[in-house]
Amino acid sequence: MPELAATLDALAEDATSRCTVCGRCAEVCPTAREVGIDTSDPQHLVRGLIALTADGAGGGEAARWVAACDSSGQCSAVCPEQINVRQWVSIARLRAQEATRDEQSRKQEHARRFRSMSHAVRLLASMQMPSDALTRILAPAERRQAEVLFYTGCNVLKTSHIVFNVMDVLEALGVDFDVVGGPSHCCGVYQFQAGDTDAYDKIGGRTFRRFGQSGASKVLTWCPTCTKNFNEIEVDRAPPSFGLDHVSVFLVSRLDELRAQFVDQPPRRAVIHEHQGITGTRESVRVLMDAIPNLTVVDLPQDSGFSYACGGVAARYVERERDIHRNMAEGAAAVGADLLITTYHSCHRALAGAEASYPFRVANFTDVLAEALGRGQRTDFYKLYKSGGEMSEAVDAARRHLESNGVRVSEDTIAALTDEMFAETGLAGSPHPFREAFAKLAEK
Ligand code: SF4
Ligand code: SF4
Whether pLDDT at 444 is above 90? no
pLDDT digits (tens, 9 = 90+) for 241-261: 999 999 999 999 999 999 999
Residue having the nearest C-alpha atom to atom 7 of ligand 2: 19
Question: To the nearest whole percent, how much of the chain has pLDDT over 90?
Answer: 92
CATH topology of domain 103-253: Rossmann fold (3.40.50)
**pLDDT for residue 1:** 65
Please provide residue 197's backbone torsions phi and psi, each rounded to the nearest 5 degrees.
-70, -30
- Report how far ligand 1's centroid is from the alpha carbon of 30 (Å): 7
pLDDT 10s digits, 59-108: 789 999 999 999 999 999 999 999 999 999 999 999 999 898 899 999 99
- Per-residue pLDDT, 443: 74
For residue 25 and ligand 2, the question of a CB distance below 6 A is answered with yes
Q: Is 278 in the pocket of ligand 1 (CB under 6 A)?
A: no
Cα angle value 26/230/146 (rounded, 5°): 155
pLDDT in tens, 418-436: 999 999 899 999 999 999 9
Question: Is residue 62 within 6 Å of ligand 1 at its C-beta?
Answer: no
Write the Ramachandran bin of 238: left for phi over 0, alpha for psi from -120 to 50, otherwise beta: beta
User: How many degrees, rounded to 5, is the angle at CA 406 between CA 401 and CA 407?
Assistant: 80
Of all protein residues, the one whose alpha carbon is nearest to atom 1 of ligand 2 is 79
Based on its alpha-carbon atoms, the radius of gyration of the chain, rounded to whole angstroms, reads 22
Tell me the CA–centroid distance for residue 19 and ligand 2, in Å: 5
Residues 6+ apart with CB under 8 A from 217: 147, 148, 242, 243
pLDDT digits (tens, 9 = 90+) for 13-58: 999 999 999 999 999 999 998 999 999 999 999 999 999 999 888 7
CA-CA-CA-CA dihedral for 358, 361, 364, 367, to nearest 10: 170
Q: Residue range 162-167: average pLDDT? A: 98
Q: Per-residue pLDDT for 292 more than 80?
A: yes
- Map out the domains of the chain as residue ranges: 4-100, 103-253
Q: What is the b/e burial string over 62-101, where b = at least 16 CB atoms within 10 angstroms of the residue's CB?
A: bbbbbbbbbbbbbbbeebeeebbbbbbbbbbbbbbbbeee
Q: Is 195:94 a contact under the CB 8 Å cutoff? A: yes
C-beta of 74 in contact with ligand 1 (< 6 A): yes
* CB 307 near ligand 1, within 6 Å: no
Q: In whole numbers, what is the pLDDT of the chain averaged over residues?
A: 95
pLDDT class for 186, splitting at 50, 70, 90?
very high
Atom of ligand 1 nearest to the CA of 70: 3
